[in-house]
Chain A
Amino acid sequence: MNVALLIGLLLTAGLVAWSSERFHKSLPNWVALVSFLIATIWIVFVWLNGPSEGGTYADQSYEWIPRFGISLTLRVDGLSLMLIGLTTLLGAVAVVSSWTETQTRQGFFQFNILWVMAGVVGVFSAFDLFLFFFFWEVMLIPMYFLIAIWGHEDKAYASMKFFLFTQISGLLMLVAIVALVWVHYDIHGIITFDYDTLLETELDSSVARLLMLGFFIAFITKLPSVPVHTWLPDAHTQAPTAGSVILAGILLKTGAYGLIRFVITLFPEASQEFWVYGMGLGVISILYGGYMAYSQSDFKRLVAYSSIAHMGFVLVGVYSFNELGIQGAIVTMIAHGFSTAALFMMAGALQERLHTREMSKMGGLWVRAPRMGAVTMFFVIASVGMPGLGNFIGEFLVLLGAFQKNVLLTVLAALGIVVAAVYGLSLMQRSFQGTPNPDVPEMKDFAFREMSVMVVLMVGLVWVGIYPQHVLGMTDAILPLLGVVP
């Protein structure tokens, strides 16, 4: 597979979409949709073909800035391929979900979506630390534009906060990256940002701890975890639907991916020592996110806080340092991508119809839009952790893994599932169940366009839930690198 070509495809499609605006208003949508579909089909084919002998699906390297030993090294292993597939699929979902929502400057809108996704594909496949940081930032700017231009009432504040949190933590990571490179240079006399070479850097434990923190902070900000989560509810709530879908579905996963790919492998000992903080933060995120979700009256904000809780499970899983925990974390990433994308799409659809996100102004919507009600029910139950659906597998594996590490923290994390049931059902109750709110105007139910997307996401969740072996199998290659023998 040629990842550079895939990134190039998305970047070019962005430019084409932008300039196609002048021919027809909805042409940019089609350009974006078709490119995401092509990319998704491409990845499915790559997946079916299986990996090469080295266990990778793609491995490319070109010189970029030889002065600093920086190269364009793109490599795709099982974990990356899965996440890239999720990216392109959710890209298509995002495009469809905002088909009618944005009325102004469609071209630039789709341009930004395509470029965010190109950046994300880069993040998931970069094996050069400079390149990784480069893509890390590339996905930030279009996302900023998506929130700042097409966001809701409080977009200025939300977009600024989003940018600041990501950028500051990113700069810490950059310092850590450059410092790591210089430590390597001091020992070996070669300046290089190549991941494989830097893996072999011998670090003092104190230096390793500091550098690990630089990466860790950047990644848990993106994840996000308490205490650096505060940008998320604002950004999610204010972003347009497509923006929320991308943020929750994909961008949060880059943080988790970074933890797995870089923090643990580059600083194995320092990370092992750090487990109690990692896991502790995860547990706090689960409980705090759940508690905050329950107390929201805004549909979208509730879903946003529930993301914090779900990502807490990922953190707990990663810092259990065993096969079950890490596999559980990865399954949670995928399943959460499906379920939350759907819920944000639902929030967007409701806002488009009712012009509000307040649940107090909803109630009894099921009667008026039964298809929407059923779909919401499905995804709420998935998100609560119903056996047979993807989220259950993920969270269950995480808890199994964490149990081997620490019983108390596992018990606390398990409480999070109870809390999830409470806020999930309360969301359902307040919006779709109960007495129909007389103030609600007539509303259109989901039509073919929306239902088709929802069905795709449902199939995804059921697939991961019933036969998780496909996802688990893809993680085989990464586990030994994490010091975990499968």
Chain B
Amino acid sequence: MNTQATLMASLPYIVLAGGLLVVMLGICIRRTHFVAWSLTMVTLIATLASHLLGYEALGEGITVTMLIHIDGVSYLFNALFVLAAICTAVIAYQYVDEKLRFREEFYLLLLAATFGSLTLPAATHFVSLLLGLEIVSISLYAMVAYPEKVRGPLEAGLKYMILSVASTSSILFGMALIYAASGSMEFAQLTPVSGSAEGDVFYLLGHVFFWSGIAFKLSLVPFHIWTPDVYQGAPSIVTGFIATVSKGGVFVVVMRYVMESDVFSSEAIAQAIFLIAAISMIVGNLLALQQRNLKRLLAYSSIAHMGYLIIALFLVATQPSIGFETAIVYLAGYFVMTLAAFGVITVISQGSDSELASIDDIQGLLWRRPIPAATLVVSALSLAGIPLTMGFIAKFYLFAAGIEGEMWTLVGLLVLGSAIGIFYYLRIIFAMTAKPEGELDSVERGSWTGISAVAVLGVATLALGIYPTPLVDFVQTLVRVSGF
């Protein structure tokens, strides 16, 4: 193995880890919010840039020990996660400045979580899967509960931690059982020694535990109960990070797992996942109908979205290139619109004691705060999958994938789910267009960094929806280069 190439390919990890240390040392030397934030931004941007440098050395992909396999696709996801982290950091600045007592460590946790998420797309082994997963999760416990004097985040953090640890144990136990059946922990060699998956109790039972844990992390029904509470309790900007990077990371590693271990060749497992996807689409959408709090609403809608995404997971098993392409485009779209939605909640809540996330709080928002409100309109339309937005391109990909894989039931449910989704997304928009009571006061308050960041996300949602060709071509090229 070429050492130099390996080092170059791992450059993003090295840069990010180095930056993390710098930020930590910086905080030790002198606590300055702005400096810590700037160092974080520099680190994240440098990490993003290092992907360009490392890409030269990548070729078809480089295997670093048996744990990690870095290729174009993992780079693509890395870039996505780092971009999400950058958005989070930019929008979070004002919030951290205003609401938190110990400001600097927030960024440390953000960087650590990002580092964990970068491990996931490249993981090819149970150990690296678990490592990445836990680095993300543990950083997130702290981030959720970060405003330590406030009841909501604290409760959410505790809930998230206990349940998440339980799910990790379930994954671990599952891994142990699968190991017992197959004698390996590498994704590619997980076929049961006995030959047939159906008769192997250890193998099947192991997957029951493994997938339960994974379904928890992805908040799929029936392991979704934590989602609305944590979404609501956590600071909006952290919720946005959980909804995007944490879930995206888990989904990516599961995709690689499905592709390499060929687990869906077992009929029973495939059917169980199919059922989970179907129920998630329906239940997520139906429960979202009842919500009057934006964050809870987005929590339930995220359950449905993850259900939709399982269509791509099924396609990964049979046609990896299309499956990965679909998943990347869908996640990219989902990231942009979700971050925009939570970013808007963060931005409009500035200067008020509690978060303005109920549907009553956003009455007439379009006339009071035009820029964040317009972004939220775009984001809601995008989540509903209406053309002109990235969400439509993403959904279109799923349609194409579902029809390509002849998953008619899931496509039908996707249509049904999208139809139900329109109800609650439109309710958000309708509330914002309502005539405000009293005098009009359409002055933008709050920080321009936050407002411009959400505006950029809104514009990106539209731009990618109208002309997705560059993104689509880029993704397709990278997926091909990575040899899927």
What is the interface of chain A, defined by CB distance below 8 A to chain B? 63-68, 104-105, 133-134, 137-138, 140-141, 144-145, 148-149, 156, 159-160, 163-164, 167-168, 171-172, 174-175, 178-179, 182
Contact = CB atoms under 8 A, between A and B. Distances in A.
28 contacts: A64-B467, A64-B469, A66-B469, A67-B469, A67-B472, A67-B473, A105-B367, A134-B387, A137-B392, A138-B388, A141-B381, A148-B430, A148-B433, A160-B423, A164-B422, A164-B423, A167-B386, A167-B419, A168-B422, A171-B415, A171-B418, A172-B415, A175-B403, A178-B396, A178-B399, A178-B400, A178-B403, A182-B400
Contact of A164 (B386, B404, B419, B476): B419
A156 B430 contact: yes
Contacts of A66: 469, 473
Contact of A137 (B386, B419, B433): B386
Contacts of B423: 160, 164
Nearest to A104: B435
Q: How large is the interface on B (under 10, 10 to 19, 20 to 34, 35 or more residues)?
A: 20 to 34
A138 B381 CA distance: 11
The 9 closest A-B CB pairs, nearest first, are A137-B387, A168-B419, A67-B472, A171-B415, A134-B387, A149-B433, A178-B399, A182-B403, A65-B469
A273 to B, nearest CB: 23
Contacts of B472: 65, 67
A53 to B, nearest CB: 32
Given A149-B433, A175-B415, A182-B400, 17 more contacts: A64-B467, A67-B469, A105-B367, A133-B387, A137-B386, A138-B387, A148-B433, A156-B430, A160-B423, A164-B423, A167-B418, A168-B422, A171-B418, A172-B415, A174-B396, A175-B399, A178-B403
A167 B403 contact: no
A144 B428 CA distance: 13
Given A67-B476, A175-B415, A141 B403 contact: no
A159 B426 CA distance: 9
B411 interface: yes
Contacts of A159: 426, 430
Interface string B441-484: 00000000000000000000000000111001100100000000
A65 B468 contact: yes
Nearest to B435: A104
Interface in B406-421: 411, 415, 418-419
B388 A141 contact: yes
A10 to B, nearest CB: 15
Nearest to A185: B404
A160 B420 CA distance: 12
Contacts of B473: 66-67
B404 A167 contact: no
Given A67-B472, A67-B473, A178-B399, A171 B419 contact: yes
Contacts of B386: 137, 140-141, 167
Interface of B: 367, 381, 386-388, 392, 396, 399-400, 403-404, 411, 415, 418-419, 422-423, 426-427, 429-430, 433, 435, 467-469, 472-473, 476
B426 A163 contact: yes
A144 B430 CA distance: 10
Nearest to A133: B387
Contacts of B392: 137
B430 A160 contact: yes
A2 to B, nearest CB: 19
Contacts of B396: 174, 178
Interface centre among B404, B415, B419 (most CB of A within 10 A): B419
Contact of A160 (B411, B418, B426): B426
A57 B367 CA distance: 43
Nearest to A180: B403
Nearest to A177: B399
Contacts of B435: 104
A159 B433 CA distance: 12
Contacts of A164: 419, 422-423
Nearest to A135: B387
A148 B381 CA distance: 15
B391 to A, nearest CB: 12
B366 to A, nearest CB: 9
A148 B427 CA distance: 11
A133 B396 CA distance: 11
B438 to A, nearest CB: 14
A163 B422 contact: yes
B387 A145 contact: no
Contacts of A140: 386
A173 to B, nearest CB: 10
A177 B59 CA distance: 38
Contacts of A182: 400, 403-404
Contacts of A172: 415
Contacts of A138: 387-388
Contacts of B411: 175
Nearest to A155: B430
Contacts of A168: 415, 419, 422
Contacts of A179: 403
Nearest to A156: B430
Nearest to B475: A67
Nearest to A68: B400
B412 to A, nearest CB: 8
A175 B399 CA distance: 7
A79 B367 CA distance: 41
Contacts of B476: 67
A178 B407 CA distance: 13
A452 to B, nearest CB: 32
B80 to A, nearest CB: 19
Contacts of B468: 65
A476 to B, nearest CB: 33
Contacts of B388: 134, 137-138, 141
Nearest to A134: B387
A171 B402 CA distance: 14
Contacts of B429: 148
A66 B473 CA distance: 8
A182 B472 CA distance: 19
A163 B386 CA distance: 11
A141 B384 CA distance: 12
B308 to A, nearest CB: 13
Interface centre among B381, B429, B433, B467 (most CB of A within 10 A): B433
B70 to A, nearest CB: 25
Contacts of A156: 430
Nearest to B472: A67
A160 B424 CA distance: 10
Nearest to A108: B366
A167 B422 contact: yes
A161 to B, nearest CB: 11
A138 B389 CA distance: 10
A354 to B, nearest CB: 23
Contacts of A160: 423, 426-427, 430
Contacts of A171: 415, 418-419
Interface centre among A63, A160, A171, A179 (most CB of B within 10 A): A171
A175 B398 CA distance: 11
A111 B473 CA distance: 33
A149 B423 CA distance: 17
A285 to B, nearest CB: 24
